[in-house]
């Protein structure tokens, strides 16, 4: 079957290189994407500028605070919020002047950032400290530890121990020694963990 007629590919009628004019819709979508990208970039730069300014204000206000608190900035519903974390309630109370100065600076820096209502640093800055640790009371023995609150009444302030009265509201009967291990009560101060 070699003598078959050569197959000629039938050239499809190609239109000469005529560029389809871009539809106005395509231009519109491209422009929209460009605008969104520009807006995101602008927002990002605005955020970085604000963050740098707020961090500088933080460093200024707490330059004399030792130990310095930790600082964090975030956004809540588009508005900047700040956390100033102190090591202890005492450290936070000691930095009252610095806290007031920081609030004033944040108010100035962020006053244009309110969305639905005016920005108020009082609402946006959270001064915090870890919860005060419960004082750990070390009892003379395991049995005493287990019985405190059951048969034994213990006053952490005076460190006194007493036998729990059978009648509710009656005064506990003070005890001078542990009924189980015989240790003198209250224990010497050195036995109390700080
Ligand atoms: Zn004991």
List the domain boundaries for the chain: 33-128, 142-191
The alpha carbon of 88 and the centre of ligand 1 are apart by a number of angstroms equal to: 33
- The DSSP bridge partners found for residue 127 are 84
The alpha carbon of 144 and the centre of ligand 1 are apart by a number of angstroms equal to: 5
Q: In angstroms, rounded to a whole number, what is the distance separating the alpha carbons of residues 84 and 145?
A: 38
Task: Return the CATH fold of 33-128.
Answer: GMP Synthetase; Chain A, domain 3 (3.30.300)
The alpha carbon of 142 and the centre of ligand 1 are apart by a number of angstroms equal to: 7
Token reading at 172: 């506990």
The alpha carbon of 185 and the centre of ligand 1 are apart by a number of angstroms equal to: 9
The alpha carbon of 161 and the centre of ligand 1 are apart by a number of angstroms equal to: 11
The alpha carbon of 180 and the centre of ligand 1 are apart by a number of angstroms equal to: 5
**Which candidate, 166, 54, 171, places its Cα nearest to that of 119?**
54
SS3 193: coil
The alpha carbon of 158 and the centre of ligand 1 are apart by a number of angstroms equal to: 18
The alpha carbon of 145 and the centre of ligand 1 are apart by a number of angstroms equal to: 8
- The DSSP bridge partners found for residue 163 are 152, 173
Residue with tokens 């530890």, as numbered in its chain: 145
**Which secondary-structure segment (H or E) carries 61?**
helix 24-61
For the chain, report the end-to-end CA distance as a whole number of angstroms: 106
pLDDT tens-digit profile, the chain (194 residues): 444 455 555 444 455 555 566 678 889 999 999 999 999 999 899 999 999 999 999 999 999 998 899 999 998 888 899 999 999 888 999 999 999 999 999 999 998 886 677 889 999 999 998 876 666 778 999 999 999 989 999 988 888 999 999 888 888 999 999 999 999 998 765 444 43
Q: In angstroms, rounded to a whole number, what is the distance separating the alpha carbons of residues 3 and 83?
A: 89
b/e per residue 48-75 (b: at least 16 CB within 10 A): eebeeebeebbeebbeebeebbebebee
Give me the pLDDT at residue 88, please: 87
The alpha carbon of 132 and the centre of ligand 1 are apart by a number of angstroms equal to: 28
The alpha carbon of 172 and the centre of ligand 1 are apart by a number of angstroms equal to: 18
The alpha carbon of 143 and the centre of ligand 1 are apart by a number of angstroms equal to: 6
């Amino acid at each position: 079957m070699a003598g078959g007629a050569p197959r000629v590919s039938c050239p499809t009628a190609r239109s000469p290189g005529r560029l389809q004019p871009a539809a106005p819709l395509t231009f519109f979508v491209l422009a929209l994407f460009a605008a969104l990208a520009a807006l995101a970039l602008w927002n990002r730069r605005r955020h970085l500028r604000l963050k740098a300014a707020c961090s500088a204000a933080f460093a200024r206000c707490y330059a004399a605070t030792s130990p310095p608190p930790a600082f964090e900035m975030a956004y809540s519903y588009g508005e900047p919020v700040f956390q100033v974390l102190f090591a202890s309630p005492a450290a936070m109370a000691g930095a009252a002047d610095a806290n007031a100065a920081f609030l004033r600076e944040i108010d100035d820096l962020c006053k244009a950032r309110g969305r639905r209502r005016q920005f108020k640093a009082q609402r946006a800055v959270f001064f915090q400290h870890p919860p005060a640790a419960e004082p750990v009371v070390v009892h003379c023995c395991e049995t005493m530890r287990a019985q405190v609150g059951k048969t034994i009444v213990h006053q952490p302030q005076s460190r006194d121990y007493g036998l729990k009265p059978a009648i509710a509201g009656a005064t506990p009967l003070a005890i001078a020694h542990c009924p189980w291990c015989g240790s003198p009560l209250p224990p010497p101060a050195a036995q109390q963990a700080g």
